[in-house]
Amino acid sequence: MHIRVFYCTFALQMKKNLFIGFLLFFSTCLKAQTDSAFLKKYPFLIGNIAFGVDSLETPLGVLYQGQDTGFSVGMYNAGKSEITLTPGKSNRFVSITYDAGVLRPGTSVNALIRISVPEEMPEGQQRFEAEFQTDDSRNPFKFLYFVSEIRKGTIGKKIMAADTVPRIIFDSYLYDFGHMRKGKTIFYTFRFTNGGNKPLLIYAITPDKGVKITGLPEKMIPPGESSVLGVKLKTRRYVGVLHKSITIRSNDPVNPVITLGIHGTVKIIPSKKNPTDYCIGD
């Protein structure tokens, strides 16, 4: 009798263990399939949010001066907590809205990105920076870049009228220094031209904290003349993703306020004394 009871108990326990093992195996396979599908649709992970793009930089093709373009990018919450998404403008070229304000774990939303190409933007390749503001505990500020070939737009009355005023036109509005070792100093020179036919007056130049202006342009730039703005940034106080801005105010009636950007990642290089040092911020 005791042997039979023991055998039944043992058999029931074995069935229970087999059932639990099957569930674990099945859930592992299901998770692997889910992860595989997730990686195919949202391959680029920043913090706890994965984006439906292949890399940090995405080509857009041809855009024209004076053109507005809208497109969507999928976002997936790969973390365990809700993430709030804040719509707004990354800069005067890029604005971002979402089809939902909260991104719950294991769910996705679409970010609508709108790029407005100014009529005075030079022809050639340009990079547009999109900044996603969130309360993601791992990385609240996320950046993607969209590269396009800018071509001449249709000349209309608005452009011709702008020729009778000063016009500030920069060769580039963003300097991406890529990855740099902590402690290094960044130097860069922004070049701009007065594309109008009246004198351009620079009223004020306001850099973010940590950015030093090393070369001030002339306060008055004649029509057709060019000038430069030199900047300097020491990285010893920063680790991870770094974004700084410089604001320029002028008498350009179309763009009285211009924002320039300096962006990149500051890394800690492992040393023999501290082999666990690493780059913070992804």
Lowest mean pLDDT among 102-111, 159-168, 198-207, 210-219: 159-168
Q: Is the pLDDT of residue 137 over 50?
A: yes
Lowest mean pLDDT among 15-19, 155-159, 183-187, 265-269: 155-159
Question: Whose CA is closest to 166, among 184, 193, 146, 130?
Answer: 193
Cα distance between residue 241 and residue 279, in whole Å: 10
pLDDT of 231 reads: 92
pLDDT of 279 reads: 39
pLDDT of 232 reads: 92
Cβ-proximal residues to 214 (8 Å cutoff; 6+ apart), any chain: 187, 230, 231, 232
Question: Looking only at Cα atoms, what is the longest distance across the chain?
Answer: 108
Domains of the chain are: 38-154 (2.60.40.10), 165-282 (2.60.40.10)
pLDDT of 271 reads: 56
pLDDT in tens, 214-234: 888 888 999 888 899 999 998
Distances (CA, A) of 196 to 94, 120, 191, 192: 24, 10, 16, 12
Cβ-proximal residues to 185 (8 Å cutoff; 6+ apart), any chain: 232, 233, 234, 235
Q: Residue 238's pLDDT band (boundaries 50, 70, 90)?
A: confident
| Structural tokens at position 16 | 């229970």
Question: Whose CA is closest to 230, among 174, 171, 185, 188?
Answer: 188
End-to-end CA distance of the chain, in Å? 65
Cα distance between residue 44 and residue 27, in whole Å: 25
Distances (CA, A) of 108 to 87, 97, 104, 130: 16, 14, 8, 18
Cβ-proximal residues to 130 (8 Å cutoff; 6+ apart), any chain: 90, 94, 96, 113, 143, 144, 145, 146
